[in-house]
Chains A and B, each alone.
Chain A
Amino acid sequence: MTRILIVSHGPLAKGLLKSAEMIAGKQGKDVAAVCLAQDQCPEDLRTVIVNYLDQWANAEILVFTDLISGTPFNVVGSLMRGYGIRHISGVNLGLLLEALLLRDSFSVNELSKHLIEVFPETVIDVNALMKMEE
């Protein structure tokens, strides 16, 4: 089953995971969240992430980061050279839930492709949506 790591600026990653667990149920140790602290240097963050990637060395891994070009993105991006991970940036709750619910039925590559396909559906202009239904 695909293991999932969420990496964010500040507490978002842990919060996202907790919120997702409200809906999808408590997750095991194969889903983890790493939060970059304000005064933490990228090398430190890298060490924490590498620790997970090494622990999960024999599994398929999907890493979510919160924002393109942010430090979590940059650090995870630099690790794509040495680790065969899939990296999706711009995670939100809808996307994370989709990944949690489908990760045992898809390979990490299929899962990533699916997530990118459904991503537009996770951001909705509700006013426009309601007018459509009038």
Chain B
Amino acid sequence: MRQIVLARIDDRLIHGQIVTSWCKSTNASTILIVDDRLSEDNFTQRLLRAAAPPDIKVEIMDLHAAVTWLAENDSTNQRIILLSKTPQVMEELIKNGITLKSINLGGMGAKAGRSKLNKNISASPEEVNCLRRMLENEVGIFYQLVPVERPVNMMNILKGEITK
């Protein structure tokens, strides 16, 4: 399996926190975005590639392609930051045999159908359930915007949140 140095849920995908902080602290060489819709959106792919630092390779794949690609052996020792917009993508990757010991929760913006869990995280009931299922399956999920902040265990953020 390829080496994942950070698995992050962040609906902004590639942005300042990723580029200036996480790429450096993880010494990443590659950003893999797993998103079924984006994998067919050439314009946004061009924008994301333009936004990444020149020394970082950007891969954009749908779930199926990502599972296959991540499971391959890698002789070039790429250090991969895995990004998805939602927790469901991470859950699907795990279900399909990709090992993610720990997931970083970096940003899920407020929008219709989501309620606020803290300042930067909003989630729909379905997303909350998905996060809970992963926690129950002993996948660590930690809220942390940038590496200099202390990670907060998602269990503590979800305490008191009623599962629907």
Which residues of A are interface residues toward B (Cβ below 8 A)? 9, 39, 41-43, 67-71, 73-74, 77-78, 80-81
Contacts and interface: CB of A to CB of B under 8 A. Distances in A.
A77 B51 CA distance: 9
Contacts of A81: 43
Contacts of A74: 12-15, 47, 51
Interface residues of B, number: 19
A69 B15 contact: yes
Label chain B's interface by main secondary structure.
Answer: loop
B8 to A, nearest CB: 15
B146 interface: no
5 contacts: A41-B111, A43-B109, A68-B50, A74-B13, A74-B47
Interface of B: 12-16, 18-19, 43-44, 47, 50-53, 109-111, 119-120
Contacts of A41: 109-111
Nearest to B11: A42
A85 B18 CA distance: 26
A50 B44 CA distance: 18
A39 to B, nearest CB: 6
A26 B146 CA distance: 39
A71 B145 CA distance: 14
A83 B151 CA distance: 40
A39 B119 contact: yes
A77 B111 contact: no
Given A74-B47, A77-B47, A69 B16 contact: yes
Given A77-B50, A78-B47, A69 B14 contact: yes
Contacts of A39: 119-120
